[in-house]
Each structure stands twice: as structure tokens, then as C-alpha cells.
Amino acid sequence: MTNAEQPIIYWFRRDLRLDDLPGLQAAIASGRPILPCYIHDTGTPGEWAPGAASCWWLHHSLAALASDITALGGELVIRSGSALNELVRLAEEINAAGIYCSRDYAPWSEGLEHDLYQDCDASGREFKRFPGVLLFEPEAVLNQSGQPFKVFTPFWKACLRAPEPRSPVPAPASIYFYPGVTGADIDDLELLPRNPDWAAHWRDLWQPGEAGARNQLQAFLTRAIANYSEGRNHPAQDATSRLSAHMHFGEISPRQLWHALRSLQDHNPELTAEVDKFLSQVGWREFSHHLLHHFPTLPEKPFRPGFDEFPWLGSPTALEAWQHGQTGYPIVDAGMRELWQTGYMHNRVRMIVASFLTKHLLIPWRAGENWFWDTLVDADLANNAAGWQWVAGSGADAAPYFRIFNPTLQGERFDSEGDYVRRWVPELAALPTRYIHEPASAPAEILAAADVELGDTYPLPLVDHREAREAALAAYRSIRAA
DNA sequence: TGAAATGTTGGGGCG
DNA sequence: ACGCCCCAACATTTC
């Protein structure tokens, strides 16, 4: 039997915010007391435990959420362990009437939601999951034959034809909390690096949490969006939204993003093309998540058959040079160093470094996927897996296998003044712009004048572009024939 | 959400 | 004036 004072557990997952949270709103509307909780899940089979950079973000995001809940007079109850066990135990402990949450689309999450539903059903509790992590539910975007889309353009067109994502629900003005339950301290989760604390300066770069997400969106909408289509390709410009980590942790929902942009567009029709361009990027996020939902092996196995046989080389020393930004290709090294030092890399550069790893070095995309997973603050299983497979040519709607970025040309085209390289590869800073993307082509006296000694202060190119390109084409031909 | 090789065209230098 | 060559600029195709 249930009574009106039996609480509802609101289980925070990848929705670390209070605004636009339909599940929380529904819990409040039930009139029952609410227990907000977060489980640091260490026990669900198949889970990709968050990487080091992601853990740093998670810590601060949880701290921000906990503080916002405290301001409302409640407490975020944090526990650690198997999410299923911890939730079941907590529900029994307080005799909860139900568990509400936002739906998550990771392969292991869907199984977990199923198990929770079963357990709740058997013990007379309500288990409800609400949409909100995505704009459109995967079941709602299928082609004419009821199958998932495997090509982005028709996928996104179908999304745009579908009923518009509904308006965000307001943040609760007050919450009737269930008192008296305590959990772990955030520090006990040991999410922060120490010995050494390599993220000591990251608080100057990022503001994890809902307020930070709101600030970032506001900054983007008042400035960079106006030149997004072009600016987004130039890594030296601050022309992208930088919302990815906020989005990953659900500090802002895609619905909030969607409606903020549509509203901006309504008031500024001249921004239509820019807004559409940005929303199509949100569309790629959507596409990746839908793909992962339909094809749970996306993070591990080539989406396209045949790539199992790809003749990778996988040299450990080459991988290490790539990881440390020591390949001798300035745009690649700049990107890898930006990643290492800030937990982030500009998207254009992500494509360049990924193409370089898989095609110039012939190192399996999974090595890159793993490195990004550990080093990106916005590491996201769906985006990461889909992105790497896209670059490697094995993914859905992937770049054709013969599309091999020339890192020198990419640098010259998208970092034409060399500002990005100079920022992250300071040992090349004094080189004239003409040679900044190809130091090896500079005359000896120019190198000397810039204090550059190739092979000493800056590495010689790890591979020759032309030779590497030919080798990659030959490798791809070998699986195509088979 | 490429790059390189190959093909075509047209202006200009020059015998 | 003409043919020839060079080559930049652009287009097409190939990988």
C-alpha cells in the first residue's frame, strides 16, 4: 500500500540540472516528497567508466547541482556502487513510491533501466523514465520501411519534419524534499586528479554546471553565432559554442538549446542560415545517439563490414608521438596539445588529428577513441564512437576511405595566419606564417632565425605525407577487394 | 565535413 | 598575323 508521504526518488544521471526536467516536474506534481540522488555507478556490466577529464567535469558539475539543491533546502544524496543495487536499496530504505529519471541511451543503460523497471514492478513501485537527453526519441525517427537511418541528411530531414521538440518545462520554484537521508561526500568519489593535479588551472577555462552552461549559451548567442558557418572552421577563433561538455552532462537540454536558437532566429531572420548550421551540428549529436541506440556495438566494432580485416599497423611509438603532440605536423601537434592541456579540442582539428592517426599512421581508430575518451571533458560514447568511425571510413555515412586530409593544407586553409599553431606549439612561434604549417620546407637560415632546430626543438615529420597517403590508399584497397 | 591527378581553356611571350 | 609553348586558372575524374 502506498500513502501520499512515500517519497519519489529523482535519480539524476546525464541531466545534471534543475531547469527543463520533465521527470522532476512530474515528481513535484505528484505532491510527494522528493529525494534527489546521484549514483556514481561502478557496477553496471558493459559500462564505459568515464575518463579522467570527464571525471573532473563530473565532480564540479555534481558540486554545482548539489549547491543548487541546497539552495532550495534539500540535499543531493550521492552514493557509489552498482546503480541497480544502490537504487533498490535506497528505495527500500525510504519505502519510496517510485523512481523517476531521464532516459539514457548508452547500451548498458537500457539494460539497467529494464532491470530497474522489473524490480520496481515486483516491489509495487513506479519506475518512470522521461525523455530529454535527446531532441527526438530513436523510435520516432525511422525511414519509410521502419528502419533506422544510416545516412545523416535524410535522418536530419526526417527530424525536421517530425513534430517540433516541445518547449522546455520551467525550473521548479520550490521542492518539497524528503528529509534525513545522507550520502557520500562528492570528494569521496575521488573524481579529481591528484599527484599531480593536472587540472589545477581548468577552473579558469570551464565552468561546469547549469549556471556555466547558461552563461556559455548566452555568450554564444550574443556573439559567435552570427558568423558560425564560417567561423566554426577556424580553430584560432573562438567561434564555436563550446557547449559539448555541458550538453554531455545534461546541464542544458537539447530542447532548451533548440528553442533558444529558434527564438533568436525569429527575432533575427538574417541569422537563419547560421542557426540552421548550428542546429545541424546538434543533429549530428542526435544522429550519433540514435545510431548507438540501434547499434550498441558502435564503440567496439566497425559499423561497416569488411573493416574487421583492415591491415592496421598500430605502432606504439607512433601512437605515443600522436598523443603527446610530437608528430612534426604542426596543426596535428597543436590539436593534441590543446586536448592534453585543456580537455578540449576544436572540432575541425579533431577531424584532422583523427584522419592523421587512422590514415597517416594506420593506427586503429579505437586507439584514438580510447585516448579521446580519457582526455576530453566532453567525452561522449555516442559522439566519440560515431565520430571516429566516420573519420576512419568504417562508420555510418562515413567519409569515403579515400578522403585523406593533408594536414599541411588543412592548416594553411583553416589556420591561415598560424595563430592556432603558435598558441599550442610555442617552439614554432617565431616562424614566418609561410612556413608555420610546414617547417621542414623552410630554408635553414629561416629556421635558425626562428630558433627552430628540426629533430631537436621540434620533431621532423613522423611520416612523409605522400608516402603515408599512398600506403593508406593501398591498405583500404586491400579490404575493398576482399 | 578532400586531395591529387588529369583535362581544358585562354592569355601572353616569343620566334 | 600566326603557330607554338608555357602556365595559371578552372573543371573534371580519380583515388
Domain that holds residue A328: 307-477
Does the C-beta of A291 come within 7 A of strand B? no
A314: domain CATH number is: 1.10.579.10
Asked if residue A81 is part of any domain, the answer here is: yes
In the structure grid, which three cell numbers stand for residue A237, read together? 577563433
Give the full edge-to-edge strand order of the sheet including A126-130: A77-81, A34-41, A8-12, A98-102, A126-130
pLDDT in tens, A86-138: 999 999 999 999 999 999 999 999 899 999 999 999 999 999 999 999 999 99
Cell 548539489 belongs to residue: A66
- Work out the angle between the directed axes of helices A407-414 and A330-342 (0-180°, nearest 10): 70
Which residues make Cβ contacts (< 8 Å) with residue A237, sequence separation at least 6?
Answer: A231
Q: Same structural domain for residues A401 and A352?
A: yes
| Separation in Å: C1 C1' and A234 CA | 52
**Nucleotide whose C1' lies closest to the alpha carbon of residue A402:** C15
Q: What is the mean pLDDT of residues A163-171?
A: 96
**Nucleotide whose C1' lies closest to the alpha carbon of residue A287:** B1
Q: Same structural domain for residues A38 and A75?
A: yes
pLDDT in tens, A31-44: 999 999 999 999 99
Q: Same structural domain for residues A36 and A151?
A: no
| Separation in Å: C10 C1' and A324 CA | 41
In the structure grid, which three cell numbers stand for residue A234, read together? 577556424
Asked if residue A2 is part of any domain, the answer here is: no
Query: How far is Cα A248 from Cα A353, in angstroms, rounded to an integer?
Result: 22
Which of A294, A328, A357 is at the close of a domain?
A294
- Return the H-helix or E-strand segment holding A77: strand A77-81
Does the C-beta of A413 come within 7 A of strand B? yes
- The DSSP line for A169-186 is PPPPS---BPPS-----G
| Separation in Å: B9 C1' and A415 CA | 32
Please state, for a pLDDT cut of 70, what percent of chain A lies above it: 99
Q: Can you give the pTM of this predicted structure?
A: 0.97
| Predicted confidence band of residue A71 (pLDDT cuts 50, 70, 90) | very high
Strand B: which of residues 256-285 in chain A lie with Cβ below 7 A? 281, 284
Does the C-beta of A402 come within 7 A of strand C? yes
A85: domain CATH number is: 3.40.50.620
Does the C-beta of A480 come within 7 A of strand C? no
Q: Same structural domain for residues A147 and A128?
A: no
Which of A76, A107, A133 is at the close of a domain?
A133
Which residues make Cβ contacts (< 8 Å) with residue A176, sequence separation at least 6?
Answer: A28, A31, A32, A33, A34
How many domains is chain A built from? Answer: 3
Asked if residue A383 is part of any domain, the answer here is: yes
| Predicted confidence band of residue A220 (pLDDT cuts 50, 70, 90) | very high
Q: Same structural domain for residues A25 and A141?
A: no
pLDDT recorded at residue A401: 82
Q: Same structural domain for residues A240 and A371?
A: no
| Separation in Å: C12 C1' and A351 CA | 26
Asked if residue A187 is part of any domain, the answer here is: no
pLDDT in tens, A369-400: 999 999 999 999 999 999 999 999 999 888 88
Q: Same structural domain for residues A363 and A283?
A: no
Asked if residue A262 is part of any domain, the answer here is: yes
Asked if residue A32 is part of any domain, the answer here is: yes
Q: Which nucleotides of C are covered by protein (CB under 7 A)?
A: 15
Q: Same structural domain for residues A122 and A224?
A: no
| Separation in Å: B8 C1' and A136 CA | 49
Q: Same structural domain for residues A125 and A143?
A: no
Q: Dihedral through CA A215, CA A221, CA A223, CA A229, nearest 10?
A: 130
| Separation in Å: B10 C1' and A413 CA | 28
**Nucleotide whose C1' lies closest to the alpha carbon of residue A410:** B2
Closest residue to B2 (CA, C1′):
A403
Does the C-beta of A405 come within 7 A of strand B? yes
Asked if residue A361 is part of any domain, the answer here is: yes
Asked if residue A183 is part of any domain, the answer here is: no
**Nucleotide whose C1' lies closest to the alpha carbon of residue A477:** C15
Does the C-beta of A399 come within 7 A of strand B? yes
Please state, for a pLDDT cut of 90, what percent of chain A lies above it: 94
> What letter represents residue A20's amino acid?
D
pLDDT recorded at residue A407: 96
Does the C-beta of A403 come within 7 A of strand B? yes
| Separation in Å: B3 C1' and A367 CA | 25
**Nucleotide whose C1' lies closest to the alpha carbon of residue A391:** B1
Does the C-beta of A409 come within 7 A of strand B? yes
Q: How many CB atoms lie within 10 A of CB A284?
A: 18
Q: Same structural domain for residues A311 and A231?
A: no
In the structure grid, which three cell numbers stand for residue A135, read together? 531532441
Q: Same structural domain for residues A314 and A269?
A: no
**Nucleotide whose C1' lies closest to the alpha carbon of residue A474:** C15
Q: Same structural domain for residues A331 and A466?
A: yes
